[in-house]
Amino acid sequence: MSLSVSLRHVLPGIALDVAFEAPPGVTALFGPSGSGKTTVLNAVAGLYRPDMAHIAVNGDVLCDTKTGTWLPPHRRRLGVVFQEGRLFPHLSVEGNLTYGLRVRRESPDPTEFARVVAMLGIGALLARRPAALSGGERQRVAIGRALLARPRLMLLDEPLAALDAARKTEILPYLEKIRDAAGVPMLYVSHSASEVARLATTVVVIEAGKVVRTGPAAAVLGDPALAPAGDRQVGAILTAVVVAHHEDGLTEIDAGGTRLLLAGLDTGAGTQVRVRIAAHDVILSLEEPRGLSALNTLPGRVTALHPEAGAGVVVALDTPAGPLLARITRRSVDRLGLAPGTSCHAVLKTVAIAPEDIGQGV
Amino acid sequence: MAWLGPEEWQAVALSLRVALVATAASLPLGLFTAYALARWRFPGREILNGLVHLPLILPPVVTGYLLLLTLGPTAPIGAVLESLGLGVAFRWTGAALAAAVMAFPLMVRAIRLSIEAVDPKLEQAAATLGASRMRVYFTVTLPLTLPGIVAGAVLAFAKAMGEFGATITFVSNIPGQTRTLPSAIYAFLQVPGGEASALRLVAVSVFVAMAALALSEWLARRAARRVQGA
């Protein structure tokens, strides 16, 4: 699957002018609220007619304003998951799930249905009405409904934005399963670095209607020069393998030969994980720290300093576990005399790495 | 209903038939018009809206006279219909037509309000799942507007049962043909000793109106329960 989008559209308050190619896997449209991400997704879904556009999936043109090609939304075969779920209130959960195949008069596949229902853990809800579901359950049903319509591409428009943190960590593993097991390619709109870090293979950063950067997730999110959704979102992504679980609830992972300890992980040994380490959770020390409560210490070397607008500086480091970012004050940089080439130690507080920052699979 | 005389019974039966036919026949057009007014933006939308509402604000006699001018036996359209054997003037079908025209604005208003209450985002979601516009309408919009449709149909039926001015102007007051319940009450009140018959018909009117209301309440509540999924 590859999606190619080139789009120009003027809306009150924003002029959209974007072009990008989404390779197979999960492509995240990442940027602050109001940057035009959803408008891009809606153009792919065919929910409005753009001023100028060329949109194609696998070479199949969905919309080309030059030639006047226009495929109406119901003939695009894209599974859309909206922020608010948009379940049909007059149908049961089962009726919602089978809607796509029913309206297209395609024959249902009981095995496929059972697999998706089991994957999303919604077997007990089938007879219920949407009004009787919790927010998280509703969103899982919405994901299942889109998936069971057998889409060639899933479009997810901030599917977790309306949920609280606990519900988010409830749903993210399901999205990872869809990415890894079902193999359905996705275009994922989000303004959350955690979600993007966990799910995306490719990130397209959109700001004020323009694409400002495209690239692999680790490279884009770990770029200190880029703070797309506010500076608290800057962070590096480490790829690691689960080594063992300890009795005290900690999990030991191996990142490039370095052992790190995390909390709140329940996947088996050998599982590949990606861990986002937010730059504001990293402390720097010139000497190997002793007598500190933090469990993870990594030796490293400063590669670059990126001063921010305020009092902060994002320090880029090279460590055996991979590149890391630390967000510290300008005053600390001066006091420690940090400069490219300086050797130092990065300290990570184990509990600062939230479950929503730890994703499974690649 | 042995206590009704043959003449009275004839008027009641005719009125029920006229009102049922008027409601059933205008429902598809009412659904379409309500949908167009609620969902589409097209030139002439305000004119259509005005036309639909005209019978509500015009004196019924004027509506009846306009019908006579266009569909009467000597009017151009009426003459064509007459030659095809489809003439409606001074026939029960004409009474049904007059009743339908008079009830149409009430029906369209109720249905339109219920369509406007349906979130277009649900219809969008249905489209992304592969439903054509037609299928979206029948699988999402129609079921969600069912309570409004029931209300509109019952309102139209009640209005059609009671329609008098346009009917008597357009199709006159012919016993067995166009003498509906209100026309019959009017006719009985014109002759000495007709008060008893008129009163019995009034009782029937009240009963039918109450029954229709109760039925619609019940249907609407059932439909609403289905829609809200409680």
Instruction: Identify the segments of chain B with pLDDT beneath 70.
Output: 1-2, 226-230
Contact A47 B226 (CB under 8 A): no
Strand partners, A53: A7
Note the pLDDT of residue A166.
Answer: 79
Query: How many angstroms separate the CA atoms of A189 and A43, rounded?
Result: 13
Note the pLDDT of residue A255.
Answer: 87
Domain B6-228 has CATH 1.10.3720.10: yes
Is residue A231, in this structure, part of any structural domain at all?
A: no
Note the pLDDT of residue B104.
Answer: 96
Distance from the Cα of B43 to chain A's closest Cα (Å) equals 20
Residues A287 and A353 occupy one common structural domain: yes
Note the pLDDT of residue B126.
Answer: 97
Note the pLDDT of residue A168.
Answer: 84
Domain count, chain A: 2
Contact B128 A47 (CB under 8 A): yes
Note the pLDDT of residue B157.
Answer: 94
Report the chain B residue with the minimal C-alpha distance to residue A80.
B128
Is residue A118, in this structure, part of any structural domain at all?
A: yes
Query: Which among A193, A221, A249 is the end of a domain?
Result: A221
Kindly report the average pLDDT of chain B as a whole number. Answer: 90
Nearest to A88 among B122, B133, B135 (CB): B122
Cα–Cα distances in angstroms (integers) from residue B136 to residues A97, A157, B128, in the given order: 16, 21, 10
Note the pLDDT of residue B72.
Answer: 85
Query: Which single residue is written with the structure tokens 């996947």?
Result: A267
- Residue A8, domain CATH: 3.40.50.300
Residues A150 and A23 occupy one common structural domain: yes
Note the pLDDT of residue B143.
Answer: 92
Q: Is the pTM of this model over 0.90?
A: no
Maximum C-alpha span of chain B: 69
Query: How many angstroms separate the CA atoms of B10 and B180, rounded?
Result: 8
Contact A149 B130 (CB under 8 A): yes
How many CB atoms neighbour CB B111 within 10 A? 28
- Chain B contact for A150, CB < 8 A? no
- Residues of B in Cβ contact (< 8 Å) with A138: none
Is residue A227, in this structure, part of any structural domain at all?
A: no
Tens of pLDDT along A133-161? 998 899 999 999 999 999 999 999 999 98
Nearest Cα residue to A38 out of A169, A138, A187, A186: A187
Residues A86 and A200 occupy one common structural domain: yes
Residues A88 and A127 occupy one common structural domain: yes
Query: How many angstroms separate the CA atoms of A166 and A159, rounded?
Result: 14
Pairing of strands A52-57, A3-11: antiparallel
Query: Residue B2 — φ and ψ, nearest 5°?
Result: -65, -25
Residues A63 and A12 occupy one common structural domain: yes
- Residues of A in Cβ contact (< 8 Å) with B139: 99, 102-103
Cα–Cα distances in angstroms (integers) from residue A250 to residues A101, A269, A296, in the given order: 45, 13, 12
Residues A354 and A264 occupy one common structural domain: yes
Contact B230 A103 (CB under 8 A): no
Query: How many angstroms separate the CA atoms of B213 and B150, rounded?
Result: 11
Residues A15 and A63 occupy one common structural domain: yes
- Chain A contact for B41, CB < 8 A? no
- Residues of A in Cβ contact (< 8 Å) with B119: 86
Instruction: Identify the segments of chain A with pLDDT beneath 70.
Output: 1, 226-232, 361-362
Domain segments of chain B: what residues?
A: 6-228
Contact B125 A86 (CB under 8 A): yes
Contact B124 A76 (CB under 8 A): no
Q: Which amino acid is at A348?
A: L
Domain that holds residue A132: 3-221
Residues A217 and A250 occupy one common structural domain: no
Is residue A230, in this structure, part of any structural domain at all?
A: no
Residues A131 and A23 occupy one common structural domain: yes
Is residue A229, in this structure, part of any structural domain at all?
A: no
Residues A48 and A105 occupy one common structural domain: yes
For residue A274 the two structure tokens come to: 């990606």
- Residue A246, domain CATH: 2.40.50.100
Residues A173 and A266 occupy one common structural domain: no
Contact A103 B135 (CB under 8 A): yes
Query: Which single residue is written with the structure tokens 């049903």?
Result: A141
Residues A110 and A141 occupy one common structural domain: yes
